[in-house]
Structure 1
Amino acid sequence: MKILELDHVALYVADTEKSIHFYGEILEWKSLPRPAFDFPGAWFSLGGNKQLHLLGARTEPLHEGTLGSRKNHFAIKVPDILETEAFLRSKGLAFRGPKARPDGIRQIFLQDPDGYWIEFNE
């Protein structure tokens, strides 16, 4: 199987408006047009042609142990981890890091309103 590239990451969210506010207003990610699906949601740019798709109307709980451990996450590459840290601090957000992985790449982990982890690395 040949893979061309990652297209999008989808997150199943409980409160669509809260998640839209987090990604759009707090993290300042660019909102993208979304087809008129029969369920709530939103799309955001992850740089290039990559996208984040929020799928709304989740009613069942997520597995808390998995969320709390960062086992399920998606990663965003940033040009400067210290600049990213300063931005997140300016927004009053709690996060983990920056901390270097064993290969020296520095990371920050941030949870969204549903408990999903976002990794920022340089």
Structure 2
Amino acid sequence: MLEIEELNHVAIYVKNVEVSSEFYKSILCLSPLPRPDFNFPGAWFRLGSRQELHLIGNRAEDLIFHKRHHFALKIRSASAAEQWLKEKEVAFAGPKPRPDGAIQIFLQDPDGYYIELFEL
């Protein structure tokens, strides 16, 4: 039987590692992690206590993005996140309630990936 213990990381392809890294550091306040010396550009970041976000550089093709394709980050306060994003002048949608009562905010990173921020 397969026993999955946790989601370890999410990997996304980006056009410019430096631009995307700055977004994830300064807007989402993620902490950089050491990364193995792969033969392609990239950056790793801590997501919460045990998960990671891996950026993989040199994406050449354009992709089509839709909110249905996204990753979600649980946050403590949607109102604090809304204020933070306004201060940083980041475009976003919401906050709005999900059918289960969670409050969600959607934003896009420099490559167009959708990110859901949600408060339970």
Alignment-mate amino acid for residue 70 of structure 2: H
CA separation in 2, counterparts of 1:104 and 1:49?
Answer: 26
CA separation in 2, counterparts of 1:27 and 1:79?
Answer: 13
Tell me if 1:75 matches 2:72: yes
Q: How many residues align?
A: 118
User: For 1:2-52, what per-residue CA distance to the aligned partner results, in whole angstroms no more than 9, with x for missing partners?
Assistant: 110000001100111110111113332111111111100000111111000
Please report how far the alpha carbon of residue 105 of structure 1 lies from its aligned counterpart in structure 2 after TM superposition. 0.7
| Structure with more of its chain in helix, by fraction | 1
Alignment-mate amino acid for residue 23 of structure 1: Y
Unaligned stretches of 5+ residues in structure 1? none
1:95 to 92, 97, 110: 92
User: For 1:64-104, what per-residue CA distance to the aligned partner results, in whole angstroms no more than 9, with x for missing partners?
Assistant: 2xx1x312100000011111111111111000000001111
Alignment-mate amino acid for residue 5 of structure 1: E
CA separation in 1, counterparts of 2:47 and 2:29?
Answer: 11
- What fraction of aligned residue pairs are identical, expressed as a percent? 53
Alignment-mate amino acid for residue 50 of structure 2: N
More deviation, 22-31/88-97? 22-31
Task: Map 1:1-122 onto structure 2 (within 5 A).
Answer: 1-62=2-63, 64=64, 67=65, 69-122=66-119
Question: TM-score scaled by structure 2?
Answer: 0.94
CA separation in 2, counterparts of 1:120 and 1:5?
Answer: 20
CA separation in 2, counterparts of 1:29 and 1:88?
Answer: 15
What secondary structure does 1:22 align onto?
helix
Question: TM-score scaled by structure 1?
Answer: 0.93
Displaced runs of 4+ in structure 1, greater than 6 A?
none
What secondary structure does 1:82 align onto?
helix
